[in-house]
Structure 1
Amino acid sequence: MIQNIIFDFGDVFINLNKTETVARLSKKFGAFELSEEMIAKNDAYEMGLLTTEEFVAYYQSIFPTATESELIDAWNAIMLDIPEHRLEFIEALAAEKKYKLFLLSNTNDLHIEYTIKTFGEEKWNRFKACFDVFYLSYEINFRKPNADIFEFVLNENNLNPAETLFIDDTLEHIETAKSLGIQTWNLIPGTNDITELFDQPFDFKK
C-alpha cells in the first residue's frame, strides 16, 4: 500500500521546453551540440558543486561574445509555467494528510531563482508548503539518476521502498528507483498529467 509519494518537479508540475536553451544559443552564436564536458558542467551545477558565477563563467569561455545576462536568459528559457490546476491538485492532496509527500528535483540555483521571480513568492510558497520534505539537487549534492539520491531520501525519512511511489518523466530516473524496490510511474508529458495520479493502478492508502 502506498504511504509515501515522491514527485519530480520538471514536466510533472512545471512545464518545460527542454530544447530551448540550445536553440536560443545556436540562433545567436551559431549551431552547436552539448559536449560531454558541457553535460558534466551542467550536472555539477545541478549538484551544487559549481557556484552560479563559476557556471556562467564556464559558458562565457565557450561563447566569449555572450553577455552574462544573455547566457542566464538562455539557461532559464527551459522553464515555462506551473498550471494552476496542478497546484490546486497538490494542495488538495496535502490537505488530506493521507500520504507523506516529497519533492525530488534535479535543478539549480538559477532555475529556482527564476521560477520564484516569475511566478511570485506567494505561488511558490503555496507549492512548497504542500510537501513534507522538499529536496532540490543543488542543495543536497545528489542528482538523479544516481542511486545515492534515492537511498538518501529513503534513509533520511525511514521510508519503506515498497510503500513508496516515485513519479518522474525521465525513464532513466524511473529505472534506478525501480531497482531499489520503489514503486514508479513514468509520467509522459503531453500524454499524462499529474492530476491523473489516482487513475493509475497502484494500491493507494484509503
Structure 2
Amino acid sequence: MIRNIVLDLGGVLFTLDREEALRRFDALGVPDVEKMLDPYLQSGYFLQVEDGRMTEPEFRAALSASAGRELTYDEIAHAYFGFLRSVDTYKFDFIDEELKDYRIFILSNTNPYVMDFCESDRFLPSGRPLSSFCVKKFASCEMGLVKPDRRIFERMISEGEMKPEETLFLDDGPANVAMAAEFGIHTYCPKNGEDWREPVRQLLRELNAQQA
C-alpha cells in the first residue's frame, strides 16, 4: 500500500513562469540572470542560496554587488515570486480532502524567500501555511543538498521513515523522478501547472490494488 506521498513545489503545487522571473531580476540590474535561473536546477549565486552555501543576507549582498546597487529583501523576493504564476489552491484542497489518509511530504529545490512566503499567512486565502499540509518539508536550502543528488533522497527516506515501495513522488523534473525511481520509489512526472489530480487518483488505485 502507498503510505507516503512526496510533492515538489514548483511545477507541481505552483505553476511556474520563468520568463516573468527573468524580467524582474533583469529590471533589478542583475546580470547574466538567464544563465543562472533554471526551472529545475539553478547555477551561480542562485544555486548557492538553494543548496545552503549562501545565507539570505549573503545572497542579497552578492546580487547587490553584481547589480551595482543595494537591493532590498523585498525587491529580491518580488523578483523571485515572478516564478510563481500561481499557487494552485485547488491542489491543496485535494490534499486535504482526498489525500488525508496518506503521509504528505514536500521535497523542493527552493530558497529562503519562497520558504518564508510558504509559511506566511499570505500563502493561501485560508491563511494556512505549507507546513500545515505535510508531515515534514525537505527544503534544499535547509538541507544543504539539491535534487537530483541521491543524498537528498537518502536523507528524505531516512528522516521521513519511509519505505520506497510505499512512497509516491510527484516532480516535474525528469532527472528528479529518475533518481527517485532508482530507490524504488513510485513516481509521476507532471508538466508544469498540470492538473494531476485524476492521474494521481488512477495511479494510487493501481498501486494500492497491486500491493493489496
Q: Please give the TM-score of this superposition, normalised by the length of structure 2.
A: 0.81
Q: Is the 8 A contact 2:121 2:127 kept in 1?
A: no
> Aligned pair 1:15/2:15, yes or no?
yes
Q: How does 1:54-203 map to 2 (within 5 A)?
A: 54-65=58-69, 67-68=71-72, 69-95=74-100, 97=101, 99-115=102-118, 116=120, 118-119=122-123, 122-125=126-129, 127-190=130-193, 192-196=194-198, 197-200=200-203, 202-203=206-207
* Separation of aligned partners in 2, 1:144 and 1:34: 19
Out of 159-168 and 60-69, give the one that drifted further.
60-69
* Separation of aligned partners in 2, 1:23 and 1:102: 32
Q: Is the 8 A contact 1:79 1:111 kept in 2?
A: no
Paired letter, 1:17: D
Paired letter, 2:192: P
Q: Is the 8 A contact 1:161 1:183 kept in 2?
A: yes
Paired letter, 2:175: E
* Structure 2 unmatched ranges of 5 or more: none
* Separation of aligned partners in 1, 2:121 and 2:82: 14
Q: Is the 8 A contact 1:7 1:166 kept in 2?
A: yes
* Structure 1 unmatched ranges of 5 or more: none
Paired letter, 2:35: L
> Aligned pair 1:43/2:47, yes or no?
yes
Specify the alignment match of 1:34 in structure 2. Answer: 35
Q: Is the 8 A contact 1:45 1:51 kept in 2?
A: yes
Q: Is the 8 A contact 1:46 1:106 kept in 2?
A: yes
Q: Is the 8 A contact 1:3 1:204 kept in 2?
A: no
The Cα shift of 1:177 comes to: 0.9
* Separation of aligned partners in 2, 1:30 and 1:64: 8
Q: Is the 8 A contact 2:31 2:66 kept in 1?
A: no
Change (3 A) 1:145 1:169: same
Q: Please give the TM-score of this superposition, normalised by the length of structure 1.
A: 0.83
SS at match of 2:169: strand
* Separation of aligned partners in 2, 1:54 and 1:28: 17
SS at match of 2:106: strand
Paired letter, 2:196: I
SS at match of 1:129: helix
Q: Deviations over 1:12-60 (max 9, x none)?
A: 1122212322222335648743259x81322221122211110011111
Q: Deviations over 1:73-123 (max 9, x none)?
A: 22232123323311110111343x2x2221111111111223425336953
SS at match of 2:15: coil
Alignment coverage as a number of residue pairs:
201
* Superposed CA RMSD: 2.7
* Separation of aligned partners in 1, 2:143 and 2:23: 30
